[in-house]
Amino acid sequence: MRSLALSLIVAQVFVVVSWVWAGNPVGVITEVKGAVYIKRMGKGSWQPAKVNMPIYVGDVLRTGAKARVVVWTPNGRAQTIGSNKTVSIAPVKSGRNSLWREVWTSFVGRMKNSFSEESLATVAAARLPSSIPNRNRLTLLSPRNTKVLNRQPTFVWSGVEGAKGYRVTIGFFDEGKRVWEVIVNGTSLRYPEDAPELKPEKVYIWQVEAIGVPEASESAWFEILHPAEARDLRFALRQLSSKAPDFISYSLMAASLLESRGCYSDAISILKVAIKQAPKQPEPQFLLANLYETVGLSSHALQVRAEARQWLAVVRSLGWQVAATR
């Protein structure tokens, strides 16, 4: 990929895939360092390039000394333009399959919707004192109102002070039938192999009750993906991992794809790993906050957004721009 990117830069033509119809972006800027400018097709003036900015056929990118810009394209590759380059965005037909189209559509849609300084400021305006989750309230964390890839999911919830144990119950959503129940001392539990098999495409309700603490219980739903769909999704994630330039880029793309399939808890898990590896990068935090809201963890979303907003100010003060998704 490095040699391909180099040849494109030398020719001053940025090769992108143009299966998208006219008016849709053929790239999204995911990283900017130093002086990078863009001139829109038909416009005479240059403007600073920013991350999340969609790129269209006919646009021109220009980098200054010691600058670079990274653009993600629909063929699943992140292309890097180095310093002192002027690159025209030109279309080229490609026979990429629908898998990459789905990944691209999901990702670019999020980028287009989130590319707004005003909206970014609005969604990130949380105040820390009100954003701290209530630690005395039992909260189901995962899987929470989501589809899941794994046939034996791991159930996770928050602990409650004074609890003498936790009763975990799983049942069918539409039948009111109890499938499995167990009492444990911890706050996580992997569904065991010897328990009744969880059926794909069947909506389940799981409930956790804190024993000895009145009214400390909560329920959520989950659904196991059909094996064929789960297999295709895992394949897509492997392909994505092999093409991503780094884990942060992979986490954003993978989480976007998982979200498009309704696998919110799996997307959350990937983003949490990314944040652990790079805690000062705000872009996974903004996407995580959005997913927290989707599954009904609003207080967690507020806290993560507040932290992301703080890091966003820090990285921009250092001269970097980063992709911040809602």
Instruction: Tell whether the torsion through CA atoms of 80, 237, 100 and 256 is positive or negative.
Output: negative
312 and 236 in a common domain: yes
317 and 232 in a common domain: yes
Query: Any bridge partners for residue 79, and if so which?
Result: 71
On whether residue 178 sits in a domain, the answer given is yes
Note whether 218 and 206 are within 8 A (CB).
no
φ/ψ of residue 272, rounded to 5: -65, -35
On whether residue 257 sits in a domain, the answer given is yes
CATH of the domain at 163: 2.60.40.10
Domain boundary among 224, 259, 280: 224
pLDDT per position as a tens digit, 21-65: 335 677 777 678 889 999 998 888 999 988 667 888 889 999 999
On whether residue 31 sits in a domain, the answer given is yes
Residue 222: DSSP 8-state? E
On whether residue 198 sits in a domain, the answer given is yes
For position 326, what pLDDT does the model report?
36
For position 33, what pLDDT does the model report?
84
CATH of the domain at 318: 1.25.40.10
Domain boundary among 174, 203, 224: 224
282 and 236 in a common domain: yes
Question: Helices (H), strands (E): how many in the chain?
Answer: 9, 18
Rounded CA-CA distance 44/88 in Å is 14
What are 179-188's contacts with CB under 8 Å, separation 24+? Answer: 179/204, 183/211, 187/156, 187/157, 187/158, 187/159, 188/154, 188/155, 188/156, 188/157
232 and 305 in a common domain: yes
On whether residue 109 sits in a domain, the answer given is no
Q: pTM of the entire structure?
A: 0.62
For position 91, what pLDDT does the model report?
74
On whether residue 105 sits in a domain, the answer given is no
Tally of structural domains, the chain: 3
On whether residue 116 sits in a domain, the answer given is no
Query: Any bridge partners for residue 89, and if so which?
Result: 14
Rounded CA-CA distance 4/169 in Å is 54
For position 194, what pLDDT does the model report?
93
Rounded CA-CA distance 47/36 in Å is 9
254 and 219 in a common domain: no
For position 244, what pLDDT does the model report?
80
DSSP calls for 153-203:
PEEEE---TT-S-EEEEEEETTT--EEEEEEESSSEEEPPTTSPPPPBT-E
Query: Any bridge partners for residue 166, and if so which?
Result: 184, 210
Rounded CA-CA distance 126/252 in Å is 22
For position 294, what pLDDT does the model report?
87
273 and 252 in a common domain: yes
The domain containing residue 10 runs over which residues? 2-95
Residue 324: DSSP 8-state? -
pLDDT (tens, 9 = 90+) of the chain, 326 residues, equals 434 333 333 333 333 333 333 356 777 776 788 899 999 988 889 999 886 678 888 899 999 998 988 787 665 556 789 999 999 987 745 544 444 455 555 555 555 544 443 333 333 332 233 333 455 689 999 999 899 999 999 999 999 999 999 999 998 765 556 889 999 999 999 999 999 999 998 888 899 999 999 889 998 889 999 999 999 999 999 988 888 888 888 898 899 899 888 899 999 999 999 999 988 888 888 889 989 988 889 889 999 988 888 876 655 444 444 444 43
Contacts of 206 (CB under 8 A, 6+ apart): 140, 143, 155, 168, 169, 170, 171, 219, 220, 221, 222
Domain boundary among 224, 241, 261: 224
Rounded CA-CA distance 190/203 in Å is 18
